[in-house]
């Protein structure tokens, strides 16, 4: 069944639609003008918006762990493996540096998501600075945590939620 002709909207139908348009466009514009990520879905459209100096350094966080087998391994920071991404850890890096006990929760996540891998006994949060141009890299340790009960780690209990 098909129809022909034109269906117009009444004054109230037009009014709430136009008001919605103004509200949505204003809010999303304010989000980018003065807001922050907490405003999502009206957060600033800020991916790749920061400037990088042509002679600057590129920082990249990594996490390493000592396992119960005595090996030092790279913690697989991805949603497919451990369940949290490198960018998410980078976003929380200041918190982790202030409260290294949050690394206990990385051990908990590892035990839940990758139970067949050797458990972590120590976890290090590290930063690699690469000089643009020369490619020279410097690695620095930002936080260290000795996991409590490595084979059956319990969450740190540090509260989450909005800052």
Partner 1 sequence: MTAVERFLAPALPQARVAWLRRVVYAFVWLDVLWIVTDPIPHGDVPPSLYRGLVVRSFLHLPPPSHTYVRVLLVVILLSSAVAATGRLPRLAGWLCAVAMLDWVSNAFAYSKVDHDHFALIVALFVLPTAGRARVGDVDLGSQAAGWAVRMVQVGAVCIYFLSAWAKMRFGGPGWASGATLIWALTRRPNGIGPWVGSHPALTHALQWTVLVAEFSSPVLLWLRGRALYAALLFWAGFHLSTYLMLKIHFLPLVVCLLSFLPLERLSGLRRLRPATPRRGGRAHPRAASGELSSAR
Subset of residues 73 to 112 that bind partner 1, contact rule: CB under 8 A: 79-80, 82-85, 87-88, 90-92, 102, 105, 108-109, 112
Q: Determine if 142 is a binding residue for partner 1 (CB under 8 A).
A: no
Does 39 sit near partner 1 (CB under 8 A)?
A: yes
Instruction: Find, among 142, 20, 48, the residue nearest to 92 by Cα.
Output: 142
C-beta of residue 101 within 8 angstroms of C-beta of residue 156? yes
Q: Does 11 bind partner 1 (CB under 8 A)?
A: no
List 23, 40, 69, 141, residue binding partner 1 (CB under 8 A)? 40
Closest contact distance (angstroms) between CB of 149 and partner 1 is 14
- From residue 116, alpha-carbon distances to 84, 111, 120, 151 in Å are 18, 8, 12, 11
Kindly tell me which of 69 and 148 has the beta carbon lying closer to partner 1. 148
> Is residue 3 a contact residue for partner 1 (CB under 8 A)?
yes
What is residue 18's three-state secondary structure?
helix
Contacts with partner 1: how many residues (CB under 8 A)?
71
Return the residue of 60, 62, 67, 122 that touches partner 1, per CB under 8 A.
Answer: 60
Torsion of CA 146, 152, 155, 156, to 10 degrees: -30
- Tokens 């020369």 — which residue? 134
How far apart, in whole angstroms, are the C-alpha atoms of residue 127 and residue 136?
14
> Binding to partner 1 by residue 49, rule CB under 8 A?
yes
């Amino acid at each position: 069944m098909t129809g022909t002709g034109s269906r117009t909207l009444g004054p109230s139908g037009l009014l709430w639609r136009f008001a919605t348009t103004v509200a949505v466009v204003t809010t999303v514009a304010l989000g980018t003008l003065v807001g922050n990520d907490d405003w999502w879905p009206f957060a600033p459209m800020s991916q790749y918006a920061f400037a990088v100096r042509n002679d600057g350094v590129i920082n990249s966080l990594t996490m390493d762990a000592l396992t119960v087998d005595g090996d030092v391994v790279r913690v697989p920071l991805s949603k497919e493996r451990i369940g949290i991404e490198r960018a998410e850890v980078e976003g929380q890096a200041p918190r982790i540096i202030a409260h290294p006990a949050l690394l206990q929760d990385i051990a908990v996540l590892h035990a839940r998501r990758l139970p067949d891998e050797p458990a972590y006994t120590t976890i290090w949060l590290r930063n690699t600075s690469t000089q643009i141009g020369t490619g020279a890299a410097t690695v620095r340790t930002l936080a260290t945590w000795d996991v409590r009960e490595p084979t059956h780690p319990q969450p740190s209990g540090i509260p989450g939620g909005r800052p």
